[in-house]
Structure 1
Amino acid sequence: MDVEIKTLSSKEIYRNRWMTLKEDRIQRADGSEGIYSVIEKSDFVVIIPVENNEIYLVEQYRYPLGRKTKELPQGSWECSPDATPEEVAAGELKEETGLKAGKMEYVGYQKLAQGYSAQGYHIYLATQLEFIGQELDEEEYGLTVEKIKISEFCQLIHDGEISDATSVTAFLLAMTKKMIVESDLD
């Protein structure tokens, strides 16, 4: 495998429990040098909870945007790095929506923003749902849950009301794998 960019040095600029920011001095294949910033974050999960042609969404305040957004339940467990993605998915589903899935199917894995991070996310389709009670983290204060028709979810994507790329691509991947089919959209 040819390496098009060589790392000459790497310096940690910032770290907290969620992420590390590095600044790398690099040399490109043509010999020119530059700086590349890299964000290191652990992988996360996104869950598509579906029941009777309906999908569960969460709405929460997103500080960088300065507003609430609707998206699929998602998250990571920085404090439990040895947890399997399926354990994290089941835990995040319960924390954010209060739901327990009788069936959790693996949809796939995607990268979030490979231009500045290697972080990715595991996608799960949750079905046979039972409400057992929410357990929100303090960072999730004000998070609400809504169940809507899958067709309405598609319309919200179309209208730009759901702009979270993770939610959109997770749903699209499940559809392309025929885990969510057109009859579910009625």
Structure 2
Amino acid sequence: LAALVVVLLGAGVGVWALTRGSGEDGDQAAPSTSAPASTTPADTLAVGDTAVVNGTTFTLQAIESDDTCQGNAYNAVAEFFASSDCTALERSLWSAEAAGLPAVVSFSRVTMPDVGNAQALRALADTDGSGNVSDLLREGVRYDGGPTELSGAEYASAQTGPTVTIVETAWAGDEGADSALDGLASAALSLGEVDGS
């Protein structure tokens, strides 16, 4: 298995992560910061590759890319894409441990035509009850040891230029503290680019 090591950038460079509990209808928490990571070219990623962020090993379980977000979102976020489609959508599922318990990480990177649309997408996706980009579990993708859906998920997002990164984390078995999933979601923002090609 090839190893993908994600190196965090120096201090002073921050990405604001807005976290919320229980998936799309949880309570919103205060913003937290996370440094962005340098990335390895996306076309080199394959199922089974690993990334290490803040001492946590993430293993790539599934990966897909698309050139549209239409049909790949739900609720108000789907309505947004009906009038303001993305130019690229990269989604993946990663397995990791949080506080010693198995968890799933849904990673979505959405490239919009411009910064204004990216800001609007992030603001909408960060709003409880607005829906989201469909994670791969929602679309029927499975992996050994993984859950069938994101249940009680924690959320984090970031934006760089026209690109919005959305992460959701959930337990893949026994459940631990929400704070462990929250920390995992913030760390996963640094997974870098993914591509299903």
TM-score scaled by structure 1?
A: 0.27
Higher normalized strand content (fraction of residues): 1
Q: Which has the higher contact order (CA 8 A, sep 6+)?
A: 2
Greater CA radius of gyration, 1 or 2?
1
TM-score scaled by structure 2?
A: 0.26
